[in-house]
């Protein structure tokens, strides 16, 4: 187990280096001069443009730019954005907020999703099953920005249960509504995944054996069947956590949350390569760690999957 984890951690290093280079190259390849939109409808003064390019290494060819960036990164310096703000400073402020948001979303999708999935699975073909299937279908069909804007209007503005937008400090309580919106679509997937797998496994031989030897229904389903049924769910949720961190752009905009998604979006928009690479590199690391955790969880859920 220990060596497995160590091997996986070591493997992350080339992946991170490769990923940063790919991202850097892609930002580099984007059309449009970062200076073009900066001075409105007129070109920037040449002296400003020259200074700006010099400062942000824009004159250098890609490999040189990348080498300079990696050199800084090795010293723990994520660089400065075009606005002159340290990337590390921005990220350290934004990641905690986004992580809080993602945790709420994950909790929502796990708790409600698995519960709904189990209910539907054990009452297959009955009313509850159909209710879950139809309601999740509706959630999947409606885009997040519609759900978000509606939720903001109904629960934030009309009923006044939540603040319609999140304050700068973004405490847990204010992130509940955005978290539910963010988790809504994944919730539907989790419910459906759980249901399908549960239904499948309930027909398995070992379940029949468990029932035959006189185990109660809660134990049969809760311990024996559900554990096995959760493996695809865990895979999904693990990957989803990373996705929620970087992909919460829409939810962040609607509720004015100062998170990472909006930051990456803005940075891409202003061709701010350093900011994009910094934020995405952290995301890559999160993805890698989540993957590792998911792989380790397999072993816990199904002892047949061993990492030794």
> Which C-beta is closer to other proteins: that of 85 or that of 204?
85
CB of 151 to other proteins, least distance (A): 11
CB of 139 to other proteins, least distance (A): 22
> Which C-beta is closer to other proteins: that of 89 or that of 302?
89
> Which C-beta is closer to other proteins: that of 129 or that of 174?
174
> Which C-beta is closer to other proteins: that of 101 or that of 106?
101
Contact 264, 26 (CB under 8 A): no
Question: Which of 282, 280, 274 is CA-nearest to residue 85?
Answer: 274
CB of 81 to other proteins, least distance (A): 10
**Which tokens go with 263?**
């930051």
Cα–Cα distances in angstroms (integers) from residue 274 to residues 25, 196, 279, in the given order? 11, 44, 9
CB of 56 to other proteins, least distance (A): 13
* Residues in touch with other proteins (CB under 8 A): 31-34, 36-53, 59-60, 82-85, 89-90, 93-94, 149, 152-153, 156-157, 160, 163-165, 168, 252-256, 258, 262-263, 266, 269-271
CB of 162 to other proteins, least distance (A): 10
Whole-number Å distance between alpha carbons of 304 and 66: 44
CB of 30 to other proteins, least distance (A): 8
> Which C-beta is closer to other proteins: that of 8 or that of 163?
163
> Which C-beta is closer to other proteins: that of 151 or that of 226?
151
């Amino acid at each position: 187990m220990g060596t497995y984890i160590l091997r996986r951690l070591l493997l992350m290093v080339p992946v991170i280096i490769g990923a940063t280079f790919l991202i850097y190259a892609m930002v580099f390849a984007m059309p449009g001069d970062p200076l073009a939109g900066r001075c409105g409808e007129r070109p920037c003064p040449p002296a400003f443009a020259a200074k700006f390019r010099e400062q942000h290494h824009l004159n250098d060819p890609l490999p040189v730019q990348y080498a300079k960036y990696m050199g800084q990164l090795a010293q723990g310096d994520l660089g400065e954005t075009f606005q002159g703000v340290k990337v590390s400073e921005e990220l350290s402020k934004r990641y905690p907020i986004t992580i809080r948001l993602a945790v709420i979303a994950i909790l929502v999708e796990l708790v409600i999703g698995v519960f709904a999935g189990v209910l539907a699975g054990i009452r297959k073909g009955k009313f509850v099953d159909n209710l879950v299937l139809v309601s999740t279908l509706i959630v999947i069909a409606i885009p997040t920005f519609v759900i978000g804007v509606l939720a903001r209007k109904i629960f934030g503005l009309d009923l006044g249960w939540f603040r319609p937008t999140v304050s700068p400090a973004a405490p847990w309580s204010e992130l509940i509504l955005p978290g539910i919106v963010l988790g809504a679509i994944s919730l539907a997937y989790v419910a459906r995944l759980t249901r399908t797998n549960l239904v499948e496994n309930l027909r398995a031989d070992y379940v029949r054996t468990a029932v035959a030897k006189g185990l109660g229904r809660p134990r049969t389903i809760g311990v024996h069947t559900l554990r096995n049924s959760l493996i695809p769910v865990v895979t999904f949720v693990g990957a989803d956590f990373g996705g929620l961190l970087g992909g919460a752009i829409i939810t962040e905009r609607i509720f004015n949350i100062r998170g990472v998604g909006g930051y990456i979006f803005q940075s891409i928009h202003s061709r701010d390569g350093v900011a994009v690479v910094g934020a995405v590199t952290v995301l890559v690391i999160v993805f890698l760690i989540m993957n590792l955790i998911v792989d380790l969880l397999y072993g816990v859920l199904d002892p047949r999957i061993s990492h030794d």
